[in-house]
Amino acid sequence: MAAPLRILLAEDVPDDAALMEQELRRAGLAITTRRVESEAAFRQALQQFVPDVILTDHSMPQFTAADALRIAQEARSEAPVIIVTGSLDEETAVEYLKAGAADYIVKHHLERLPSAVARALDLTRARTEHARAEDARRHSEEQYRTLVEGVRDVIFALTPDGAIAALNPAFEALTGWSRDEWLGKPFEGLVHPADVHEALELFGRVLRGEPRPASQFRVRTRQGDARVVEFSASAQLRDGRLVGILGIGRDATERVLLEQQLRQAQKMEAVGRLAGGIAHDFNNILTAITGYVDLLLEDLPPGDPRRNDAQEVRKAADRAAGLTRQLLAFSRQQVLQPRVVGLNGLVTDIEKMLRRLLGEDIDLATRLDPALGAVKADPGQLEQVIMNLAVNARDAMPQGGKLTIETANAELDESYAREHFPATPGRYVLLAVSDTGVGMTPEVQAHLFEPFFTTKERGKGTGLGLATVYGIVKQSGGFIWVYTEPSHGSTFKVYLPRVDASVQPREATAGAGAKRGTETVLLAEDEAPVRAVARQVLERHGYNVLEAPSAEAALDLAQRYSGDIHVLLTDVVMPGLSGHDLAKQLVALRPNVRVIYMSGYTDDAITRHGVLEPGLAYVQKPFTPEGIARKVREVLDAA
């Protein structure tokens, strides 16, 4: 039985260390660990614990990952060093790799840690094998050849003029070519045309005796594609005369792809945070605008010429509110209220609307799997996904064409997940939207889901449609994959986790007109315009309103007020005490009070991963006067 892997954890947060251990054990690795958080303890562990792998946080109070890497190298430890951190910018990550780190993992993607450890150990073993091969070559060419045959990296020898003199079997596994096909041919013929210059820097510096770190370039394969290979080489001299070049190439395709995906994910996350913050602030402004316009419309009699002006303001505010909803969807900061739904029913319900939207020159076809499983998601948001994908397809077919919407059950295995980041293996429901339009170039596809990116002419689109789709799908626990080719159309495949539950019936739409009341409402909102419009709406509906500009002021008011307080209407995010903390303290003070939260975006206090906690009443900003009055009445009647 193999001995457990010895993992040295340089981590000052015990909970983070525990999560790393948990992820490694979940992957079936037998491990024993030691956690340190100081340089002295780290040095001692290198000598006494003798780790197989070192996992280190980027920055700790007493020392950093750079210190850990340097100390391990000075101690000649053979253990690969993997950086595990909450965040890491691209330049710092590259510097770590150049300094000798085996890999890096961000903490919110710890599921990648086991494979990173396995790759690092493989890399260490490969380096050890290579070192042994070099040593064996000095003693015996036959021993060297025997070792080289078993190495998984490509090992090659070139003549002084650059022709291939020798290749090991790993060359065939990497490229699909047989070794005999390339012996005697120029090495540059293997290199992707765009990377030939990079390959000739590499060998040129070797020939001049200059130090050169490993270089990456693409190698052509028999299948017609290319693999990214990391090469290093050294000149072979005899009596001061060049007799050849010896090199090694390691397949880095997967690592490079993961690095690109990480950079893209980090960019999307940063843009999402910015978009969500803008939408939150704008929603407060829109709440006041729409609220006062609606109150004004209530007061203006039919036929008053000022009604048209007010209605135009309302329309403009609605369009702005739509943009903020899209920003929140992209940034995954909207509050979802999911239920078990069937995609077939959603497609059928909006099919007539889609046909009107697409126009007569586009043929709409649906292929719905009658045995389709259910998903747990917000039905309104899923309808938005279908509508946005249909609109995107329509715009890709300016001369008309065919749009096909398909549904099916899907089982994704480990092999599929490895090639389709960020997919994970499991049971899914597939929604596919295909068009016969213009398709996309790789350059366009690389920016496809970024907000405000559009290929349409100025004024013809916001660039938020597909960004919204991306955010909704990701927040719903799924992922989206795109297949496209210029002039050959596109297919957007949305995968949502399948659930074993019965589809819940659609909730009935609330009737017009909120009932009035006489109860007392404690209103806590730090934005004065929002607070003022909410107070005026509730007072018009007969309620007694106590208003407070902060959670602390609301608690003070509740302690001094001698009458009953029937419901607390509170913003979630306020300076100082949060709305959730206010609710907890107020309920302790007045157990019979009901609570309604309102916010412009998600907050961990009332949601879990953006999904509203069961049993909580919530109003999304910007709200309408009718909507806020109806919600208050609904909560009071339920009590």
Condensed to tens digits (0 to 9), the pLDDT of residues 476-506 reads 889 898 888 888 889 999 999 999 888 877 6
The confidence score (pLDDT) of residue 140 equals 57
172-to-149, 163, 221 alpha-carbon distances in Å: 12, 17, 9
Q: How is residue 203 annotated by DSSP?
A: H
The stretches of 140-230 forming alpha helices (DSSP H) are: 141-149, 170-175, 179-182, 196-207
Same CATH fold assignment for domains 5-125 and 339-499: no
Percent of the chain with pLDDT over 70: 82
Range 148-154, long-range pairs (CB < 8 A, 24+ positions): 151/126, 152/122, 152/126, 153/126, 153/248, 153/249, 153/250, 153/251, 154/229, 154/248, 154/249, 154/250, 154/251
Q: Is the backbone of residue 33 left (phi > 0), alpha (psi -120 to 50) or beta?
A: beta
557-to-228, 561, 586 alpha-carbon distances in Å: 66, 6, 11
Q: Check pLDDT > 70 for residue 277.
A: no
Specify the amino acid at residue 491.
T
Task: Write down the domain spans for the chain.
Answer: 5-125, 152-251, 258-326, 339-499, 520-638
Mean pLDDT of the chain: 82
Structure tokens at 363: 């043929």
- Range in 196-200, 228-232, 245-249, 399-403 with the lowest mean pLDDT: 196-200
Q: What CATH number has the domain spanning 520-638?
A: 3.40.50.2300
Q: How far apart are CA 279 and CA 449, in angstroms?
A: 18
Q: How far apart are CA 82 and CA 305, in angstroms?
A: 70
Rounded to an integer, the average pLDDT of 295-316 is 81
Specify the amino acid at residue 135.
D
Query: How far is residue 488 CA from its own chain's centroid?
Result: 28
Top pLDDT among 541 and 265 is at: 541
Nearest residue to 277 via CA among 604, 602, 550, 528: 602
Give residue for tokens 């209530």.
298
453-to-137, 395, 456, 486 alpha-carbon distances in Å: 56, 15, 9, 18
Between helices 528-540 and 625-638, what is the axis angle to 10°? 60
SS3 290: helix
Q: How far apart are the first and last CA of the chain?
A: 62
Residue ranges of E strands in 518-636: 520-524, 544-548, 567-571, 594-599, 607-608, 611-612, 617-620
Q: Check pLDDT > 60 for residue 510.
A: no
Indicate the pLDDT class of residue 606, thresholds 50, 70 and 90.
Answer: low
Structure tokens at 382: 């899923």
- Convert 148-159 to b/e letters by CB count within 10 Å (16 or more is b): beebbbbbbbbb
Q: How far apart are CA 429 and CA 450, in angstroms?
A: 25
Indicate the pLDDT class of residue 610, thresholds 50, 70 and 90.
Answer: very low
Structure tokens at 333: 């900061």
Q: What CATH number has the domain spanning 152-251?
A: 3.30.450.20
What is the architecture, at CATH level 2, of domain 339-499?
2-Layer Sandwich (3.30)
Q: How far apart are CA 34 and CA 5, in angstroms?
A: 11
pLDDT digit string, tens, across residues 435-480: 998 888 777 777 677 766 665 555 455 556 687 788 788 878 898 9
pLDDT digit string, tens, across residues 246-259: 888 888 887 777 77
Fold of 5-125: Rossmann fold (3.40.50)
* pTM (predicted TM-score): 0.44
Indicate the pLDDT class of residue 375, thresholds 50, 70 and 90.
Answer: very high
- Residue 464 burial class via C-beta count within 10 angstroms: exposed 0-12, middle 13-18, buried 19 and up: buried
Top pLDDT among 339 and 592 is at: 592
Q: Check pLDDT > 70 for residue 330.
A: no
Rounded to an integer, the average pLDDT of 56-74 is 89
